[in-house]
Amino acid sequence: MSHGAFSIAKQDDGKKLFIENACPEDELEYEIYDDRKDFAYATITQLLKTSSQRNPDPKCKVHKVCGSCQWQHINYPEQLKHKRKNLTDLLQEAKVTINALEIPELIGMQEPWNFRNKVIYPMRFIKSSQRVIAGYYKTNSNELINIKYCPIQYSIFDEIIERLKDLLTEADFDKNILRHVLLRANSKQDEILLSLIIRDCNDETLISLKTILKRVTELFPIIKTTSLNFNNNSTNVILGSKTEIVQGNGFINEVFQNLKLKISTESFFQVNSKQFAKIIDYIEAQFADRDKILDAYCGIGTISLALAKKKQNLNIIGIEIVKQAIIDAENNCQENNIKANYICAKLEDKIEDFKKEKFDCVIINPPRKGCSNKILDNLGLIASAKIIYISCNPSTLARDLKYLEKFNYQIEKIQGFDMFPHSFHFETVAILKKQ
């Protein structure tokens, strides 16, 4: 399996084929639909012999076209093996020094279904059917798949979104303003936040949308707060910077690792709470009481605050660009009686200021694109004894780990966590020690 949605085969001339919905050990006939110089993309025309790795009964019947679960056709234990191999291969390709370090098996889930505590669906009004649909995009296309049942998310989300689509379809307003629907729930699934991401619109439309949100909360009292998020930008960034709370207090309450957390529309919180807890347990041993920590890309402070619950008197500085996340982090400090200093700024703009600080450890949890050279250079100059790099993209992780070697950081431990079963994505924690 590639680190992507394809299985890899080779033609007799050595040219790589990336085949959709294929599984290692399948025997099949294929048709190339995108032929390039060194590789080609292909689809299966006939499956001649089924691999023993194949899942004979995937829970989702549209997984072959939906772009979310690229690996649901593979048995779950085999998915974990392929993800480990992806990590190993990417580290080797980047020439990361691992010496005799053994890459352990991924830490998976005992029950890898209904784990997503958050869903964001693109929405679209289809003129031909005069209906609002919502779901995921078909792989490598702009075609939206109307999802009615998704087995990887909390099941209550399916019911809410179906009713919401009906109400939006029936209402009289310009439906082209609809962009996304966001739902997030706490672990107990007794509080849900619902937000519509829309383009700017007139007052009449706003009244209509607020009426619909009110109606949904009447049908589903589990929804404790609703909001409208406004985004006019023509980019792939989903959330805009302006959010209007329609009902409730604008957040849901979560209890995570003995922490009381408030999570709002714009805040980042890991979508798989059970696996995220395993990451916290894994890194806990790296800290001692009174350690000074830089929590980069800190979000609502979940990682550093969870560690502060386990270790005494940690000195925490966190930095995050999303203003609402910093507000939530500060509120979470007060709620849990923890002292920490959270800064709202872009990490690239602020990281040079941390060079004079004497950190025992830097925790860095960047977006998929990884870290810029400026950030990595300043991590080298900060020169903390340890760096804990948490990554959702093993490709950029491998690149950044190789870069940090020039500052004498080497991998002490590395562990993959399957945060995203049935997709090719996974989370990796690399613990780096300064030599």
Stretch among 141-145, 151-155, 334-338, 399-403 having the lowest mean pLDDT: 141-145
Dihedral, 47, 48, 50, 54 alpha carbons, nearest 10? -10
Q: Which helix (H) or strand (E) holds 211?
A: helix 203-219
Q: Which helix (H) or strand (E) holds 374?
A: helix 373-382
pTM attached to this predicted model:
0.94
- CA-CA distance, 289 to 307, in Å (whole number)? 10
- CA-CA distance, 404 to 383, in Å (whole number)? 11
Is residue 344 annotated as a catalytic residue, yes or no? no
Per-residue pLDDT of 56-79, as tens digits, reads: 999 998 988 888 899 999 999 999
The predicted model gives 237-251 an average pLDDT of: 94
Whether the pLDDT of residue 138 is over 90: the answer is: no
User: Helix or strand or coil: residue 66?
Assistant: strand
Contacts of 407 (CB under 8 A, 6+ apart): 379, 380, 383, 434
Whether the pLDDT of residue 241 is over 90: the answer is: no
Contacts of 423 (CB under 8 A, 6+ apart): 68, 69, 70, 71
Q: What is the pLDDT of residue 212?
A: 98
Per-residue pLDDT of 85-103, as tens digits, reads: 999 999 999 999 998 899 9
Which ranges of 66-144 does DSSP label H, i.e. alpha helix?
A: 76-93
- Check 66, 69, 150, 392 and give the catalytic one: 392
Q: What φ, ψ does residue 422 adopt, rounded to 5°? A: 75, 0
Q: Which domains does the chain have, with CATH numbers?
A: 1-54 (2.40.50.140), 89-110+268-434 (3.40.50.150), 118-254 (2.40.50.1070)
pLDDT band at 279 (very low <50, low <70, confident <90, very high): very high
Per-residue pLDDT of 283-298, as tens digits, reads: 999 999 999 999 999 9
Stretch among 311-315, 382-386, 408-412 having the lowest mean pLDDT: 311-315
Q: What percent of the chain shows pLDDT beyond 70?
A: 100
Q: What is the pLDDT of residue 334?
A: 95
Q: What φ, ψ does residue 238 adopt, rounded to 5°? A: -80, -50
Per-residue pLDDT of 161-211, as tens digits, reads: 999 999 999 999 999 999 999 999 999 999 999 999 999 999 999 999 999
Would you say 14 and 8 are in contact if contact means Cβ atoms under 8 Å apart?
no
What is the token pair recorded at 415?
């562990």
- CA-CA distance, 429 to 87, in Å (whole number)? 11
- CA-CA distance, 89 to 357, in Å (whole number)? 36
* Mean pLDDT over each residue of the chain, to the nearest integer: 95
User: Helix or strand or coil: residue 144?
Assistant: strand
